[in-house]
Structure 1
Amino acid sequence: MALLQAPAKLALWLHLRRRAAVPVPGHAVAAPPGEGPLILLHLAEQPDDPPPVAALVRALLHRRPNLRLIFTGAPPPAEALPSGLRASIAACPQDPAGARQMIDATRPRALLVLGDQMPPALISAMTDEGLPVILAEARLTRQQRRGPWRGAIDRGLMRRIDRVLAPDLTAAAAARHMGADPAKVELIGPVTETRPPLPVNEAERRALAQILAGRHIWLAAAPTLPEARAVLAAHQATLQHNHRALLILAGLPPQTIPAIQAEVQALGLAAVLRSEDDDPSADDHVLIAEDSYEMGLWYRLAPVCFMGGTLLPGEALPPRHPFEPAALGSAIIHGPLTDAHGAEWGQLDGASAARLVLDSNGLARAAADLSAPDQAALLAGNAWSVCTGGAAVLRRIADTVLQMAEVQA
């Protein structure tokens, strides 16, 4: 380890020396008004997975209403600056002298680096002053791809960080590989957006649950027309070993309904339209719920959900957020087209909390596998943990920052 530490320290020292030789002119930084503790919050300019900064700011202010913040790095989103927040935005100092000037002028209690962009001058100046530096929400994927010189600088910085709050096992391992003291690395999970469950008419849910008792129900939420055809074919296969299964197609453009009804008829299935106020009978195989207003009802009734717009392109309503079914206990199937909610899909897949399928055959296999209640329950439980864990992670980050800042009081 000593042989690795020396080059890292040397690389960081040389980097800072070079920056000091060519100082970057900067504007004077003033602390926001107020008497509360001041935290520097550095935001990565090109994060792999942008964290919900606004939610973190709310968590910090909930614990310390008089807290003051200075944002550096990427500009904070507008929603991260609530009315009354004592905050300012400053350019991140690039050289040691600029970093020292910022610290002398603002007297921060701690630096929170959010994301995997570690500012060398600022981190070094903070630790030289004995002030704590916390790294959170850093996947560290870019650091692992860097060359030897830049990698040595990153290792030198990592050894200066007082606490690494890792979002996943890969990030925790990367931090330790880069030289972080294992005792200072804590696996807390990713910061996920917390969404309230979709509303439901509880009387309607109870009535339908009674009508559908004992039947396996699965949902296709906002599918494209090609996906609707694939789902119907998968359902036909499911009926061969579970003849009472019911498929709900919900969130459909009105102009696609005739084509879907024609496909249902071609497959020899029986369907009922929700718009006609008919409840599915024991002989119905498909419930077509055209609009999206009752999506909270369908998520609650269906223990398995295929998320449309993720497998086959085509005409459809906008893809639904994957945390909607996750928050309501539905096991999730999805395809590879996840750009609409890429960060959330990455979190679910990384936690084995969703079933990824690549084609129509994979969809049929997944639908068959998840008709087993124990398989669906395992997947749904993992998804619920992901979508509800964000609040606890935010609390952990806020508590760590404020506790370490208190030491400097």
Structure 2
Amino acid sequence: MGLRRSIALSVLAGLRPGRRILPDLHWQPRPEGPLLWLHAASALDLEAALHLLQRLSVLDPMPSILLTLHEGLSLPSPPPKGVLVEAPPPDKRAQVQAFLDHFRPDLALICGRPLRPLLYWTMSKAGVPMTLVNVRGSDLDPPGFRLARNVDRAMGSCFQHIICRDGPSARRIDRLRPGLPPSLPLGRLEEGSTTPSANARVLETLRNQLAGRPLWLAAYTTPGEDPMVVEAHRQMGRYSHRLLCVIAPSEPERGGDLATILGNQGWRVALRSTGDTLSEDIQIVVIDTPDEMGLWFRLAPISFMGSSLIPGFGGKDPFAPATLGSAVLYGPNVGHYLDSYGRLVNAGGARIVKDASSLAQGLQLLLAPDKAAAQAHAAWDVASRGAEVTDKVLEILQEQLDEKVFS
């Protein structure tokens, strides 16, 4: 390892300019207290990082967050309150040192490659504990005999903890870093969904009202999708006359008008905001009350995720129903969550539909309890994999925080 490290150091030394000229940088002030630096190297890593931000409140003390994004990445929405967003410094000596002098991170979590050799090496020398996730063995031990290969391989010794994709990657990485904690082949830190909550008393009341009645949920529907959902439910009446359709518009304020339209079409409708009892003759329930999705994802064995049949909306997060045991149907326009749906489909945990007829066909298939249970279990399995990695990352970060605070 000594020869490899010396070769890598010589390469890094070659990256250093002859004169140290501090760049003209304008960073936000560093907040007081512990600071966690979180870096996302790709769009998938950014989705995972944004999900992790929702879980960091369990840390004690809760650190301030500095989030940096690889070139070309941008946040899909404003950052959560209290999160600083900056570009990482160029991998040059002056900029790296200025970045570390300004922000003085107490710990760091790096998601994915490309890696930044000089930055990470400098942080390691400064004693900043770093964790690397979402890498393969080839990321730290690339093939070939390039000189730069030694730089990548030496990076392995900069990280206290590495969570990699699989067992072969772990064995390959561990050969590069003897004496350090073994890498953990847990898979990717992935985007996911915080499980929506549900009021236990209301949930029990609804279960009693439904009394085992079959139902399906159309979640986050757009105005153009509502007629397709209703038509699919009409077609399903041939196979299950007791089947209840629950429609949750993407804008709850549309619920009242939607219930009126459906009533005028002859449907027997219950509107949640009016407290209608879900009697046996009700055919459609319209959700116009906020914060109830956790209830219906728990009650519905089948969830159609709307904002997906018509272009322009990008789809909705499929992991919310998946984590609660609901089989997932969705339309073809899910660009905002394409990787999430792809993983579910590959595992047999979701099924694509294209119109009212194919939605009805998907519902008919899943009305068989064994089919719905199998698909729901596959979806839950995919959703839970990322949870294991997330829990391990949080455990590592808490241990590193404890060392900083109590040392």
- Give the counterpart of 2:211 among 190, 213, 219: 213
Question: Residues 131 and 229 from structure 1, CA distance in 2 versus in 1: closer, same or farther, beyond 3 angstroms?
Answer: closer
Instruction: Give the match's secondary structure for 1:192.
Output: coil
**What does 1:50-89 align with in structure 2 at a 5 Å threshold?**
50=46, 51-52=49-50, 54-55=53-54, 57-59=56-58, 62-64=59-61, 79=80, 81=82
- 1:367 equivalenced with 2:366 (yes/no): no
**Deviation for aligned residue 1:44:** 2.7
- In structure 1, the partner of 2:373 is 377
**Deviation for aligned residue 1:250:** 3.3
- 1:192 equivalenced with 2:188 (yes/no): no
Q: Distance in 2 between matches of 1:310 and 1:117?
A: 33
Q: Which amino acid aligns with 2:185?
A: E
Q: Matched residue pairs, number? A: 377
- 1:357 equivalenced with 2:353 (yes/no): yes
Instruction: Give the match's secondary structure for 2:109.
Output: strand
Q: Alignment RMSD, CA only? A: 5.2
Q: Distance in 2 between matches of 1:198 and 1:260?
A: 27
Q: Distance in 2 between matches of 1:325 and 1:361?
A: 23
Q: Is the 8 A contact 2:167 2:185 kept in 1?
A: no
TM-score, normalised to structure 1, is: 0.66
**Deviation for aligned residue 1:348:** 5.0
**What does 1:251-290 align with in structure 2 at a 5 Å threshold?**
251=249, 253=254, 271-275=267-271, 279=277, 282=280, 286-289=283-286
Instruction: Give the match's secondary structure for 2:37.
Output: strand
- In structure 2, the partner of 1:163 is 161
Question: Residues 361 and 134 from structure 1, CA distance in 2 versus in 1: closer, same or farther, beyond 3 angstroms?
Answer: same
Q: Is the 8 A contact 2:315 2:333 kept in 1?
A: no
Instruction: Give the match's secondary structure for 2:153.
Output: helix
User: Which structure is richer in relative contact order (CA contacts within 8 A, separation 6 or more)?
Assistant: 1
- In structure 1, the partner of 2:392 is 396
Instruction: Give the match's secondary structure for 1:79.
Output: coil
- In structure 1, the partner of 2:91 is 94
Q: Which amino acid aligns with 1:190?
A: E
Q: Is the 8 A contact 1:348 1:383 kept in 2?
A: yes
Q: Distance in 2 between matches of 1:244 and 1:134?
A: 53
1:17-49 deviations in whole A, cap 9, x for unaligned? 2354576624799x9698x8x666242365434
Instruction: Give the match's secondary structure for 1:218.
Output: strand
**Deviation for aligned residue 1:272:** 0.9
1:326-365 deviations in whole A, cap 9, x for unaligned? 4544322112322455676566557654333345454233
Gaps of 5+ in 2: 176-181
Q: Distance in 2 between matches of 1:399 and 1:297?
A: 30
Instruction: Give the match's secondary structure for 1:48.
Output: helix
- In structure 1, the partner of 2:222 is 224
1:284-312 deviations in whole A, cap 9, x for unaligned? 6x314162445454434322111111123
Gaps of 5+ in 1: none
- In structure 2, the partner of 1:235 is 233
- In structure 2, the partner of 1:113 is 110
Q: Which amino acid aligns with 1:44?
A: A
**What does 1:308-387 align with in structure 2 at a 5 Å threshold?**
308-313=306-311, 321-339=317-335, 345=341, 352-384=348-380
**Deviation for aligned residue 1:187:** 0.9
Percent identity (aligned) = 26
Q: Which amino acid aligns with 1:197?
A: S
Question: Residues 398 and 20 from structure 1, CA distance in 2 versus in 1: closer, same or farther, beyond 3 angstroms?
Answer: farther
Q: Is the 8 A contact 1:11 1:153 kept in 2?
A: yes
Q: Distance in 2 between matches of 1:405 and 1:277?
A: 48
Q: Is the 8 A contact 1:308 1:334 kept in 2?
A: yes
- In structure 1, the partner of 2:179 is none
Q: Distance in 1 between matches of 2:259 and 2:66?
A: 53
**What does 1:297-312 align with in structure 2 at a 5 Å threshold?**
297-312=295-310
Q: Is the 8 A contact 2:316 2:334 kept in 1?
A: no
Q: Is the 8 A contact 1:32 1:88 kept in 2?
A: no
Q: Which amino acid aligns with 1:337?
A: N
